[in-house]
């Protein structure tokens, strides 16, 4: 029993030695605060475990428990700030109320996504069907644009190829001239040196029309365009199946489920009423500790703590005055 009390004092931040000297009122206050703390820790431990399992996609049970403990520790620290406050702290109370509303919204959203799981899955599926339809339309437009562009380029190139082919049929070869220069010895000069004369020879040669290479390049490019068009048309046939497969493979995220939850709640009065009730319930639980702390008369434990603070403050003021007098 003593060990449990020590653990309880540790959780709410009370001094066990001071509590042992207090009366029944302080012990009742201790039990109420401890009960409220335990309720909040169990509540947020559950929320943390569900959050880790559903949205962080943690498979290890030990890691889920660690996340749950982290949530419990955060809530414990928040509540201890309220419990350990000495005297009135209106600003802190206001902040705690605002924090309670935020935590209640977060908690109710997570619980609603678990409770309305089947309805949310149906809403998500309906939303995804709309997204799938829009995505298919968008991708088909992209494919049509690419097919049209490549078809136009292919038609333009085909016309140019036909013109080249006609010209090659008319002039398969072209004639050219080949000029060569040679030196010939025609005799000797006065000094006996050979006398040379340069002569030019002009030959007519027949060459293949260079447009044949351009024709070959055009035909190769037309083959490439044909392959691209065939691939695009094949991909266009499979676009609906691929988009649907991509969407089905993607796990629902927190935001997606939150939007689906809001849709379910907004479309049904029963769901909206349940959400409001759950939100109010969590809000009241969040304000449980604050209500116990601020809503009742002070117990002797709190009076002892405040008295210690008052005596310590007076002692420090008297010490400071004594130091000033001695300096003068």
d(CA 212, CA 45): 80
DSSP code string of 26-40: HHHHHHHHHHHHHHH
- For the chain, residues with pLDDT lower than 50 are none
d(CA 125, CA 119): 10
Convert the pLDDT of each residue in 229-277 to its tens digit. 898 888 888 888 888 888 877 777 777 777 888 888 888 788 888 888 8
pLDDT at site 65: 92
What are the structural domain ranges in the chain? 2-122+254-322, 173-208
Mean of the per-residue pLDDT values of the chain: 80
Q: Note the residue count of the chain.
A: 328
- pTM of the entire predicted model: 0.59
d(CA 54, CA 64): 10
d(CA 286, CA 265): 23
Cβ 196 vs Cβ 184: under 8 Å:
yes
pLDDT at site 197: 65
d(CA 65, CA 72): 10
- Joined together, the tokens standing for residue 129 give 């069907």
- Joined together, the tokens standing for residue 260 give 């689906």
d(CA 52, CA 66): 9
pLDDT at site 68: 92
Cβ 287 vs Cβ 43: under 8 Å:
no
Helix ranges (DSSP H) in the chain: 2-12, 16-20, 24-54, 61-83, 90-115, 117-170, 211-249, 254-267, 269-286, 288-295, 300-327
Choose among 238, 243, 230: nearest CA to 147. 230
Cβ 77 vs Cβ 58: under 8 Å:
no
H/E run at residue 86: none
| Residue 171 phi, psi (nearest 5) | -130, 75
């Amino acid at each position: 029993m003593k060990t449990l009390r020590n653990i309880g004092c540790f959780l709410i931040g009370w001094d066990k030695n001071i509590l042992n000297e207090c009366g029944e009122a302080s012990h009742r206050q201790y039990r109420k605060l401890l009960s409220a703390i335990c309720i909040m820790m169990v509540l947020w431990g559950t929320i943390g475990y569900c959050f880790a399992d559903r949205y962080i996609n943690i498979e290890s049970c030990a890691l889920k428990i660690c996340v749950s403990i982290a949530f419990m520790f955060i809530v414990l620290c928040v509540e201890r700030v309220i419990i350990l406050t000495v005297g009135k702290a209106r600003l802190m109370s206001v902040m705690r109320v605002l924090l309670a509303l935020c935590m209640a919204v977060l908690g109710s959203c997570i619980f609603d996504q678990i409770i309305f799981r089947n309805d949310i899955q149906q809403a998500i599926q309906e939303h995804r069907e709309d997204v799938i339809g829009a995505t298919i339309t968008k991708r088909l437009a992209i494919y049509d644009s690419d097919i049209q562009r490549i078809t136009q380029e292919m038609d333009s190139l085909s016309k140019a190829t036909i013109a080249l082919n006609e010209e090659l049929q008319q002039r398969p070869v072209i004639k050219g001239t080949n000029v060569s220069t040679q030196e010939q010895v025609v005799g000797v000069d006065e000094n006996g040196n050979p006398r040379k004369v340069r002569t030019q020879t002009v030959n007519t040669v027949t060459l293949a029309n260079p447009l044949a290479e351009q024709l070959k390049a055009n035909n190769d490019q037309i083959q490439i365009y044909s392959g691209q068009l065939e691939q695009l048309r094949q991909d266009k046939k499979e676009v609906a199946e691929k988009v649907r497969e991509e969407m089905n493979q993607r796990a629902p995220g927190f935001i997606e489920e939150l939007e689906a939850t809001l849709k379910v709640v907004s479309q049904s009065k029963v769901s909206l009423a349940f959400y409001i009730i759950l939100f109010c319930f969590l809000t009241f639980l969040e304000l449980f500790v604050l209500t116990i702390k601020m809503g009742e008369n002070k117990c002797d434990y709190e009076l002892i703590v405040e008295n210690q603070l008052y005596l310590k403050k007076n002692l420090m003021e008297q010490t400071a005055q004594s130091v000033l007098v001695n300096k003068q």
